[in-house]
C-alpha cells in the first residue's frame, strides 16, 4: 500500500488528475478533503488544471476537521484555509461545501449532524488524508476508537506543538477540535493518505510496523479494502525496499 513518487509535486500532479477523473466519472461525487501543509501543493496543482475541470456544480465536499473556537474568517481556521487554497478559486457554492463548525454553541449536536449529513449524502466516494507525526488522521489522536463518528477531541501535546507553527504565539493554538471519526473515514469508498518530508519518515516506519491499532490511528487503513499511501522519497526513507511500489 506504500507508493513512492519522485517528489511532493509528482504526488500533487497524480492526485489532481485522480480527483478530476473522479469528478468526470461521477459529477455528483462526495469528496472528503484535508488541510495542512501536505495538501497545499495538491490544491495548487488542481487549480493549475482548472481549465480542464469538469462541471463542478454537483460536487459536494466534506472536510475532516476544524478547530474549536476559531471563526471561519480566522486565518488559521480550516474553513479559511479551504477558501484560500481551493474553494474561492473553483467558485464552489456555499451549499456544496461542508466543514464542522467549531463555533457552534451545541458541539455535540454539531458532531452528530456532521456524520449524519455525510451518511445522508450517500457516504464519501473519496477521502484525502494527511497524517500527523503521531499518526493522527483527521484529528483522531492516538487512542481514538476505530468505531468513532464525528466528535470533539482534545488535541495532544504533540499535535499542539506541531501545529503551533501556524500561529503567531503558541498560546493562540486551540486546544480542541471537531474531527470526523475513524468510522466516517473508513466508510469512504476510496482513501489516499499522503505523507511528505523527512519529518514523517519515522511515522511511516511506525505505521508500516504497526498492526491495525488505535495507538497508531493511520494503521486503521490496513483494514480498508481500497486505501493507498503516497510518499515522497524523504517520507519513505525508513521503510524497507520490499514494502515500496515506485511510481515513475
Ligand atoms: C488536517 C488534518 C490533519 C493533517 C495532519 C498533517 O485537516 O486532518 O490530520 O493532515 O496534521 O498536517 P501537515 O500536512 O501540516 O503535516
* Mean pLDDT over the full length of the chain: 97
Residue nearest atom 4 in ligand 1 by C-alpha distance: 130
CA atoms within 13 A on the CB side of 137: 31
Q: Show which residues are catalytic.
A: 65, 134, 136, 141
Indicate which residue's Cα is closest to atom 3 of ligand 1.
138
Question: What are the tens digits of pLDDT across the range 91-108?
Answer: 999 999 999 999 999 999
For the Cβ of 36 lying below 6 angstroms from any atom of ligand 1, the answer is yes
User: 199 C-alpha vs ligand 1 centroid, how far in Å?
Assistant: 13
Question: Cα–Cα distance between 1 and 38 in angstroms, integer?
Answer: 19
Ligand 1 center–CA 47 separation, angstroms: 20
Given ligand 1 and candidates 97, 130, 134, 185, which is best to mutate, with the most ligand atoms within 8 Å of its CB?
A: 130
Q: Is the CB of 35 under 6 A from ligand 1?
A: yes
Which pLDDT score, from 0 to 100, does residue 5 have?
Answer: 98
- Report the relative pairing of strands 227-231 and 244-246 from DSSP bridges: unpaired
pLDDT of residue 137: 98
The predicted-structure confidence for 71-85, as pLDDT tens digits, reads as follows 999 999 999 999 999
Q: What is the pLDDT of residues 120-137, one digit of tens each?
A: 999 999 999 999 999 999
pTM, to two decimals: 0.97
Q: Does the beta carbon of 141 sit less than 6 angstroms from any atom of ligand 1?
A: no
Shortest-distance Cα residue to atom 13 of ligand 1: 36
Mean pLDDT along residues 16-42: 97
Give Cα separations from 207 to 18, 97, 143, 167, 246 (angstroms): 24, 31, 14, 28, 18
Identify the residue whose C-alpha is closest to ligand 1 atom 2: 138
pLDDT grade for 171, boundaries at 50, 70 and 90: confident
**Virtual CA dihedral for 180, 186, 56, 27, nearest 10 degrees?**
-150
SS (H, E, C) 155-200: CCHHHHHHHHHHCCCHHHCCCEEEECCHHHHHCCCCEEEEECCHHH
> What pLDDT was estimated at residue 208?
98
Question: What are residue 61's DSSP bridge partners?
Answer: 31, 97
The preferred substitution site among 34, 37, 167, 193 for testing ligand 1, maximizing ligand atoms within 8 Å of CB, is 34
CB-based burial label for 23 (10 Å; 0-12, 13-18, 19+): buried
> How far, in Å, is the centroid of ligand 1 from the Cα of 129?
7
CA of 103 relative to ligand 1 center, distance in Å: 20
pLDDT-derived band of residue 51, with 50, 70 and 90 as boundaries? confident
Cα 137 to the chain's mean position, in Å? 7
Rounded percentage of the chain residues whose pLDDT exceeds 90: 95
Q: Answer whether residue 159 shows pLDDT above 90.
A: yes
Amino acid at each position: 500500500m506504500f507508493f513512492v513518487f519522485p517528489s511532493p509535486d509528482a504526488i500533487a500532479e497524480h492526485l489532481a488528475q485522480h480527483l478530476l477523473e473522479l469528478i468526470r466519472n461521477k459529477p455528483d461525487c462526495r469528496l472528503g478533503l484535508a488541510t495542512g501543509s501536505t495538501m497545499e501543493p495538491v490544491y495548487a496543482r488542481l487549480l493549475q488544471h482548472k481549465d480542464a475541470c469538469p462541471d463542478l456544480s454537483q460536487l459536494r465536499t466534506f472536510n475532516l476537521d476544524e478547530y474549536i473556537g476559531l471563526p471561519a474568517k480566522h486565518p488559521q481556521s480550516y474553513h479559511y484555509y479551504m477558501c484560500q487554497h481551493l474553494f474561492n478559486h473553483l467558485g464552489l457554492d456555499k451549499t456544496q461545501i461542508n466543514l464542522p463548525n467549531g463555533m457552534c454553541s451545541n458541539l455535540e449536536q454539531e458532531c452528530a449532524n456532521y456524520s449524519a449529513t455525510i451518511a445522508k449524502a450517500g457516504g464519501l466516494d473519496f477521502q484525502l488524508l494527511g497524517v500527523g507525526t503521531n499518526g493522527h488522521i483527521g484529528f483522531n489522536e492516538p487512542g481514538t476508537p476505530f468505531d468513532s463518528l464525528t466528535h470533539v477531541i482534545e488535541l495532544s501535546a504533540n499535535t499542539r506543538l506541531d501545529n503551533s507553527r501556524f500561529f503567531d504565539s503558541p498560546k493562540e493554538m486551540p486546544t480542541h477540535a471537531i474531527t470526523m471519526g475513524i468510522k466516517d473515514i473508513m466508510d469512504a469508498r476510496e482513501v489516499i493518505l499522503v505523507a511528505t518530508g523527512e519529518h514523517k519518515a519515522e511515522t511511516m516506519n511506525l505505521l508500516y510496523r504497526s498492526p491495525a491499532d488505535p495507538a497508531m490511528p493511520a494503521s486503521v487503513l490496513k483494514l480498508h479494502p481500497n486505501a493507498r499511501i503516497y510518499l515522497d522519497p524523504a517520507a519513505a526513507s525508513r521503510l524497507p525496499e520490499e514494502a515500496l511500489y515506485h511510481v515513475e
